[in-house]
Structure 1
Amino acid sequence: MSATQKTKLSQKLYETLRQRVESGEWSQGTRIPTEMELASQHAVSRPVVREALVRLRDDGVISSKRGSGSYVLNGGNAGPRKFREIENVADVIHAFEFRLSVECDAAALAAVRRGEADLQALYAAHEAFGQGVDDDGFGDLDFSFHLAVAQASHNPMYSTTMSMLHRQIVFGMRLIGQFSSSGSRTRLDLVESEHTLIIEAIATQNEQHAYDAMFEHLSNSRRRLLGFDAVPDWKRHQPTSPG
């Protein structure tokens, strides 16, 4: 099979699978068939399936969990999710600047509005880090945690925005892994401890602490990636009031 034929088959399968999500046939949380099952169902090779699944993950439509499979993130709400690709350091800085605006308020709102189911989802996403993960898997697990925080805000625009940023966010997380692989355990410990502070603030419904913990975590993540501090021109000193 030529590279062109493989690309065409992968594109067709991608569109078919995405349609299942957008139509609601595969709702949020659905575990999709394995690569082998999809290859058999659609009479294509596993590399073709793998390429289609990578595109779905990059679009924020599905997420992979080590040893468990791939799951739908946004169900029937899946739509076009495109931000410009990250091409240079300036793009990385811009992405973090945007995330600091969006995710800190989302964390504060999560502290105000979260329910028990939201807490369980956060704990599950957090505990997944302790099961052992490579650099590629780290990005997906970290994104799942941040998406769970956004979903706990009970404002769908936060979780939708996070899904739109999936590719940019995971790109940065994977770079952190590549640049610090020799100290990956330390990196993992740091992220786990920072996530713990976010969860504790949300669990105790302290919106200011949740805001501050998320701001500190994202600032530290940016520093770990860039190797220097990108001092903000402006910082909100308290979360936006939920009204």
Structure 2
Amino acid sequence: MAYAQRTKLSERLYETMRQLVDSGQWSEGTRIPTEMELAEQHGVSRPVVREALIRLRNEGIINSKRGSGSFVLNGSEAPTKGFRPIENVADLIHAFEFRLTIECDAAAVAALRRRDEDMDVIIAAHNAFEEGMSDEAFGDLDLDFHIAVAQASQNSMYASTMSMLHKQIVFGMRLIGQFTNAATQTRLEVVRVEHAPIVDAIAAKEPLLAYEAMFNHLTLSRRRLLGFDAVLDWKRSGPTVLINKMGGPDS
């Protein structure tokens, strides 16, 4: 199954299960069906189910006990999913400011920890863009790429954060589609050019280059969207993670 398709199915299943919790149908303490049972009930594969369950666990909605299954925590106290909608230019600036702090570090860590299978997913996501696709489809694929990078970090909190930014990222991609690029490049060409150094740096296991490539991509995306440079009050010279203290998958 293609990565993009699996991500969409996982998102849909997550939303379904989250609604069961929010509505009270799955109340606190409810033992939810097993992975196999959920896969059969919803007609999806077990990896799709596993991704949805991981997201629910990361958000504190369910808890898994070895040998006993997964149980719903206090649904009324479950955190609100996602971030609040973007309503104005200030919100857009804040969204990019947040992404610059999270995604650049995620790319650096991914370069250190990525496995061969992670690299395959990143490359597939990078190659998935097609000319003439809708703004929503383009936004979804762009998010798929950034989630693939976050997942390669082997830190589920990076990937969960990126998943929760889905609406903000797609909203931004739709707005970008309304602006005319001053250059002759198409939107697809721009993304390919800017994503390529990120892919190359992670493949080469160069964390500082991955950090810089992601920072450059997000900065240019913000400029295209806003039509002007939003200067940061302060900028780090590199990742907050201690590169020399962190090991890759083989350490």
Normalization by structure 2: what TM-score?
0.68
Cα displacement (A) at 1:177: 1.4
Structure 1 residue 81, shift from structure 2 partner: 2.2
Indicate if the aligned counterparts of 2:107 and 2:150 stay in contact, CA closer than 8 A.
yes
Counterpart position of 1:234:
234
Task: For residues 56-95 of structure 1, give each alpha carbon's deviation from its aligned partner in whole angstroms, at most 9, with x where no partner exists.
Answer: xxxxxxxxxxxxxxx7793202335221110000000000
Contiguous gaps of at least 5 residues in structure 1: 1-13, 34-70
Counterpart of 1:78 in structure 2 is 55
Aligned equivalents of 1:116, 1:131: Cα separation in 2: 28
2:94 maps to: 94
Corresponding residue for residue 5 of structure 1: none
CA distance in 2, matches of 1:230, 1:116: 37
User: What CA distance in whole angstroms lies between the structure 2 residues aligned with 1:193 and 1:216?
Assistant: 11
In the TM superposition, residue 207 of structure 1 has moved relative to its aligned partner by 0.4
Which segment drifts farther, 133-142 or 196-205? 133-142
Partner of 2:92, secondary structure, is helix
**Alpha carbons of 1:16 and 1:235: their partners in 2 closer, same or farther (altered >3 Å)?**
closer
Aligned residues: 190
TM-aligned CA distance change 1:74 to 1:189, over 3 Å: same
Partner of 1:223: 223
Alpha-carbon distance in structure 2 between the residues aligned to 1:121 and 1:181: 29
For structure 1, which segment, 189-198 or 168-177, has the greater mean C-alpha deviation from structure 2 after superposition? 168-177
| Alignment deviations for residues 177-208 of structure 1 (CA, whole Å, 9 cap, x no partner) | 13338989622101111101100000000000
1:189-232 deviations in Å (ceiling 9; x for gaps): 01111101100000000000000000000000000100000011
Let me know the Cα RMSD of the aligned residues: 2.9
Q: Larger % of helix: which?
A: 1
Partners of 1:235 and 1:31 in 2: how far apart? 47
Local SS of the residue matching 1:178: coil
- 2-structure distance, mates of 1:214, 1:91: 21
The percent of aligned pairs where both chains have the same amino acid is: 54
Amino acid at match of 1:74: E
* Aligned structure 1 segments of 4 or more residues deviating by more than 6 angstroms: 181-184
Name the CA distance, whole Å, in 2 between partners of 1:127 and 1:118.
14
Contact 1:177-1:184 within 8 A present in 2 as well: no
